[in-house]
């Protein structure tokens, strides 16, 4: 049964990727850039390895997982030879040592203490871990991340930590039906990204601005995103199986 539904969804994944690629290209051009300037991440939480590998076969070269355990459970079955993986979900400090060095970038660094833990474990492992700072751009109680007005200061502190490199910012925008207002929110992130870049801090390179999901990736690109994280628009609605 599982096999059959996987096969059935394969054509959908390919078609979805094609449409999203066109939408990304259009939005990139509208924002004065080219489609090559915007990187598509396929968000693979709850998606099984067969379907993820199919997306990789269709040209996906970056995947994002929310949970350390889920990623490590699937990793051996994934064809990651030409595909990078990032962690995009809230990270608990007791999981840090399991994920260090296993993903190219940890996008969801939301406190100074988690950054310290990542640095410590990276140094212990003899490696450098790339991170992004997560920003709670809508100041929502329900979301993780630094506030927009504190992220520059926190970035300066985190940049001092050995074993990590700060490579940019990420956010999950508030739900907002007003598209113009949404673009404005993304532009606030972009402006902060440019401000921090202008500070030329040691150990900080503002190269990745990760924002936009299935419902808002076009607005995110119009606001300046250069990496969009798209899940359900590629793989269909998520089916959460209760495994706990």
Ligand X SMILES: *Cc1c(COP(=O)(O)O)cnc(C)c1O
- 56 lies in the site for ligand X, by CB under 6 A: no
- 207 lies in the site for ligand X, by CB under 6 A: no
Tell me the residue nearest to ligand X as measured from the CB. Answer: 231
Give, for 165, the enclosing helix (H) or strand (E): strand 164-171
- 165, exposed or middle or buried, with CB in 10 Å at 0-12, 13-18, 19+? middle
- 23 lies in the site for ligand X, by CB under 6 A: no
Stretch that binds ligand X, among 24-32, 119-127, 178-186, 209-217 (CB under 6 A): 209-217
Cα 237 to Cα 9, 138, 161, 211, 230: the distances in Å are 11, 25, 39, 20, 12
CB of 172 to ligand X, least distance (A): 5
Q: Which of 196, 185, 126 is nearest to 159 (CA)?
A: 196
- 168 lies in the site for ligand X, by CB under 6 A: no
Q: Which of 123, 229, 125 is nearest to 171 (CA)?
A: 229
- 89 lies in the site for ligand X, by CB under 6 A: yes
Distance CA 82, CA 238 (A): 25
Which C-beta is closer to ligand X: that of 115 or that of 233?
A: 233
- 84 lies in the site for ligand X, by CB under 6 A: no
**Number of residues forming the site for ligand X (CB under 6 A):** 14
CB of 233 to ligand X, least distance (A): 6
Residue numbers at the binding site for ligand X (CB under 6 A) = 43, 45, 66, 88-89, 172, 213-215, 229-233
């Amino acid at each position: 049964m599982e096999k059959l539904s996987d096969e059935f969804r394969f054509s959908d994944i390919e078609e979805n990727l094609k449409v999203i690629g066109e939408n990304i290209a259009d939005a990139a051009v509208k924002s004065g850039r080219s489609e090559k300037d915007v990187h598509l991440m396929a968000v693979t939480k709850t998606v099984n390895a067969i379907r993820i590998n199919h997306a990789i076969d269709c040209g996906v070269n970056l995947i994002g997982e929310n949970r350390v355990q889920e990623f490590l459970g699937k990793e051996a079955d994934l064809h990651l030879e030409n595909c990078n993986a990032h962690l995009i979900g809230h990270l608990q400090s007791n999981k840090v040592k399991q994920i260090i060095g296993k993903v190219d970038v940890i996008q969801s660094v939301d406190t100074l203490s988690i950054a310290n833990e990542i640095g410590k474990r990276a140094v212990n492992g003899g490696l450098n871990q790339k991170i992004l700072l997560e920003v709670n751009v809508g100041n929502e109680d329900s979301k993780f991340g630094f506030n927009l007005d504190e992220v520059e200061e926190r970035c300066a502190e985190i940049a001092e930590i050995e074993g990590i490199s700060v490579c940019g910012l990420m956010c999950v925008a508030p739900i907002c039906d007003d598209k113009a207002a949404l673009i404005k929110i993304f532009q606030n992130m972009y402006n902060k990204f440019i401000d921090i870049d202008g500070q030329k801090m040691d150990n900080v390179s503002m190269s990745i601005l990760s924002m936009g999901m299935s419902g808002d990736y076009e607005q995110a690109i119009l606001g300046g995103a250069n990496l969009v994280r798209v899940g359900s628009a590629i793989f269909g609605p998520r089916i959460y199986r209760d495994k706990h």
